[in-house]
Structure 1
Amino acid sequence: MDDKALMEDLLLVVKGNCGLYLDGTIESATKSVHKAFGDVLDDTLMIQNELYTKMADKGWYPTETAEQKQINKVVKQFAPKN
């Protein structure tokens, strides 16, 4: 397994964990459990960002710049209706 594939796998696992920790935070019944899940979620989000940044720096996570026309369309779509 090459470095790119390894980083992709790590990123997928970390993203999945973020989802689990978010659900745990939302569904927690007590403040202490909520805080515990929230703290782990924050730490995991930092790890996710580090992985993403390293992958982007190597060109392994390409992104596209959205055209202003596309942005305006989405903004209009989700704007409150009067």
Structure 2
Amino acid sequence: MNQQKVQNPEKQVAKTPQMNDRDFINDLLATEKYMTASYSTALNEASNEVLYQDLLSIFTETQNMQRELYDLMFREGWYKLESADQQKLQQSFQQFKGYESQFPNGNGGLQ
């Protein structure tokens, strides 16, 4: 199985005890991911519509910032992905396609 890496050339940073650009951005990315998960929980539990809309606005800004930080890390070569194996994708698709019949009306319960 030949897993191909999807990445940009890695921008080199100094390897010292002090935090470098990669460390700072990685820390920011982790924080944004944590915040979006927390805002998602708050959105699920907000009973007041005005509060819900405020949280939704903040969540959207936070999610967009998370994506920008991810994109930056990917551009700098600090975030690497593996290309998906086409056979595994097809197997997963067939597996989840089979679950569809378990839902009412065969369409996830939607009318």
Q: Distance in 2 between matches of 1:3 and 1:66?
A: 29
1:61 alignment counterpart:
79
Larger fraction in helix = 1
1:16 and 2:39 equivalent?
Answer: no
Larger RCO: 1 or 2 (CA < 8 Å, sep 6+): 2
CA distance in 1: counterparts of 2:68 and 2:45, whole angstroms = 27
1:19-38 map, 5 Å: 19-38=37-56
Equivalent residue for 2:101? Answer: 81
Structure 1 runs, 4 residues or longer, greater than 6 Å off? none
What's the Cα RMSD here? 1.1
Q: Is 1:45–2:45 an aligned residue pair?
A: no
Structure 1 runs not aligned, ≥5 long: none
TM-score (norm 2): 0.70
Higher CA-based Rg: 2
Partner of 1:33, secondary structure, is helix
CA drift of 1:36 comes to 1.1
2: CA distance between counterparts of 1:47 and 1:9? 13
TM-score by length of 1: 0.92
CA displacement 1:60-81 (0-9 Å, x = unmatched) = 0101110111111111222213
**Number of residue pairs aligned between Structure 1 and Structure 2:** 82
Percent identical pairs in the alignment equals 27
Ranges in structure 2 where 5+ consecutive residues have no aligned partner: 1-18, 103-111
Q: CA deviation at 1:18?
A: 0.2
